[in-house]
Structure 1
Amino acid sequence: MTRSEEEDAAYPFKEFISNLDRRELLGVASLLTSDPDYFLEIARNKNGSNRLQKLVGKSDDVDDLICDATLYRFLHVMTDKHASYVATRGLRVFAGKKKEYMCGELIHHALLLARDRHALPLSNDTSGNFVVQHVLKLNDPRTTRNVALSLRGHCIDLSFKKYGSYIVERLLEADESVAVVVMELVESDGDRLMRLARSEFGNFVVNKALIVTQRRMTRVDLFRDLVKKLMPFLNFLRKSRGSNIAVFLESVHQTEVA
């Protein structure tokens, strides 16, 4: 299970399992999951993780075994670079009770999983990002700040993505984290900020950053810095997905002139 793709070139794992009948496939899955320590050892290996992911979705019986093994060592699986991909693959594929149990464990361990080094990979994952969103919904100031600091320097990258932008917008809603996001926008390269403001999901983040800093009297300096940074790109924003930002900037300019 941990052999490299090059070593298996003559008979790839994907081809191997495709030639197994249901009983044989279940036997392979049972062998890999019956010992929790062995399952975790395989899942923590890059090649082993890739092969376990290929098994997910092959049959309900196989999924039951992989789901049970993942849940048994859930925290160890989710906090490992390679093993976590097995769990997130399961979250995308599993249905019914299996998905319900997996989501329940995610929420149960949410505070631990969304902090420090786990916050960024979870935020970048289509399933794991919901864990981070759940943590931010708890409105715990200390936890929110920890998540923000863990994602500092990555907020723009996340904002280009659908689910990542949801997380950044939530960070903008909290007093403990708004400055982390806006300072990254202000300190970014102008062209990169313009591309974000014109992007499908990033425009909502930039627009929200303007709105929340304008409303917060303690963030007036950040608001002014962000407006100043965006103003040179007003014409480029008008006929793009960033037209909402252009309208906002024009209203600010008109108010200042008046």
Structure 2
Amino acid sequence: MSIADNTFSMSNMYDALPHIRFSRGISGSSIPPPGFIPRASDTRLNPLFNLMTSGEGVALFKDMISKLDRRQLHTMASLLTSDSDYFTEVVRNKHGSRRVQKLLGISDDVDALFHAAILRRFLHVMTDKYASYVARRAMAVFDQTKKYAMYEHILHHALDIARDQHGCIALNEIITDADDPFYRNQMLDVVAINALCLSNDASGNFVVQHVLKLYDLRCTHNIAANLRGHCFELSFKKYGSYIVEKLLEAEGSMAVVVEELLECEGERLMRLARNEFGSFVVVKALRVTQTNRIDLFWDLVQKLMPFLHLLRRSHGSSIANILEACSIATR
């Protein structure tokens, strides 16, 4: 059966399920081996696989499954989840992911099957571009017991998820939408405790940035504490500088960053001020202290003023403008 033959219709839906149920079964020798990807020539699995992953009839799928009875829905979910490799291939497909999401939250017994399938391949699901949407949808519709099990898996795999290009996005969404205070705080604590390694990671830094944007005072304080002594070096990096700027915006962590900058020798601070990314950190430090901590502001000005002539001809030109304004004001 080709994909073209597997058009979306109610008759195809009803015809496909018993055909697959008869020829493949849910266990035994007919289950495909690990790494198996259904092919057009494999008539045992193609009807359901094509039904889930074909680009045709996307708008009709939700209406179609609404007309299936409980037994048919359970059969469909059983076939989709009875083999982990098969399930993973479906949810990694753009259309397969969307259709599995439509099947979530319909009934407890169907959710139980998908819940078990997701947990079996949790890290693979959470770090895939399309499969991760299935996990995020599951967190929204599963009952409390199933959610708690997923939270536990998130905490266990948090670092691996955060350091993946797709996983970091999924983790950010789950943290934002977390409706359980205990697990939300647990996830924030994992990010805070591992703030240094995440801040230096190409994907993990986005999780730290995201968490800081939630303006959770306790978490921001803990991140600042764990980055104390590392803000200077982070400021030389594109994404690291974003994190340091976020810390400067928070009243509770602003002093931590500024005091670290003031501890630097004048030439080291000048080198940061002339850096492509570090210059933004120094400008932010000057602006927030001028508003909130005038004593720290003048300490920074005094330390930077000897290098005014060097700052004019570099990325530090904005800093030079602030220093020149201070010179005029004190004359």
TM-score bracket, normalised by the shorter chain, equals 0.5 to 0.7
Residues 20-43 of structure 1, C-alpha deviations (whole Å, 9 max, x = no match): 233322222222112222111101
Residues 149-198 of structure 1, C-alpha deviations (whole Å, 9 max, x = no match): 2248758973795389998775443237534665558977xxxxxxxx9x
**1:6-155 alignment runs, 5 A limit:** 7-8=56-57, 12-117=60-165, 120-127=168-175, 133-137=188-192, 139=193, 144-150=195-201, 151=203, 154=206
Q: How many angstroms apart in 2 are the aligned matches of 1:209 and 1:182?
A: 15
Which one scores higher on RCO, CA 8 angstroms, separation ≥ 6?
1
Q: CA RMSD in A?
A: 4.4
Query: Is the 1:42–1:49 contact (alpha carbons within 8 Å) kept by the matching residues of 2?
Result: yes
* 1:229 and 2:278 aligned: no
Q: How many angstroms apart in 2 are the aligned matches of 1:13 and 1:210?
A: 52
What TM-score do the two structures reach when normalised by structure 2? 0.54
Match of 1:213 among 254, 257, 263: 257
Query: Is the 2:104–2:110 contact (alpha carbons within 8 Å) kept by the matching residues of 1?
Result: yes
Matched letter for residue 115 of structure 2: C
Q: How many angstroms apart in 2 are the aligned matches of 1:16 and 1:179?
A: 58
- Show the counterpart of 1:173: 225
Matched letter for residue 214 of structure 1: V
Query: Is the 2:175–2:187 contact (alpha carbons within 8 Å) kept by the matching residues of 1?
Result: no
SS at match of 1:117: coil
* 1:248 and 2:303 aligned: no
Residues 31 and 135 of structure 1: CA distance in aligned 2, closer, same or farther (over 3 Å): same
Residues 16 and 250 of structure 1: CA distance in aligned 2, closer, same or farther (over 3 Å): farther
Q: How many angstroms apart in 1 are the aligned matches of 2:249 and 2:210?
A: 10
Question: What percentage of aligned pairs have identical amino acids?
Answer: 33
**Structure 1 position 148, deviation (Å):** 0.9
SS at match of 2:54: coil
* 1:2 and 2:53 aligned: yes
**Structure 1 position 95, deviation (Å):** 2.3
**Structure 1 position 2, deviation (Å):** 0.6
Residues 178 and 246 of structure 1: CA distance in aligned 2, closer, same or farther (over 3 Å): same
Query: Is the 1:186–1:225 contact (alpha carbons within 8 Å) kept by the matching residues of 2?
Result: no
Gaps of at least 5 residues in structure 1 are 189-196, 235-244
What TM-score do the two structures reach when normalised by structure 1? 0.66
Query: Is the 1:77–1:83 contact (alpha carbons within 8 Å) kept by the matching residues of 2?
Result: yes
Match of 2:214 among 155, 162, 168: 162
Query: Is the 1:56–1:62 contact (alpha carbons within 8 Å) kept by the matching residues of 2?
Result: yes
Q: How many angstroms apart in 2 are the aligned matches of 1:214 and 1:233?
A: 11
Q: How many angstroms apart in 1 are the aligned matches of 2:220 and 2:232?
A: 12
Matched letter for residue 158 of structure 1: H
Residues 251 and 96 of structure 1: CA distance in aligned 2, closer, same or farther (over 3 Å): same
Q: How many angstroms apart in 2 are the aligned matches of 1:155 and 1:107?
A: 14
Gaps of at least 5 residues in structure 2 are 1-51, 179-183, 303-325
**Structure 1 position 134, deviation (Å):** 4.3
Q: How many angstroms apart in 1 are the aligned matches of 2:167 and 2:220?
A: 12
Matched letter for residue 178 of structure 1: C
Q: How many angstroms apart in 1 are the aligned matches of 2:69 and 2:80?
A: 17
**Structure 1 position 54, deviation (Å):** 1.5
Q: How many angstroms apart in 2 are the aligned matches of 1:52 and 1:204?
A: 43
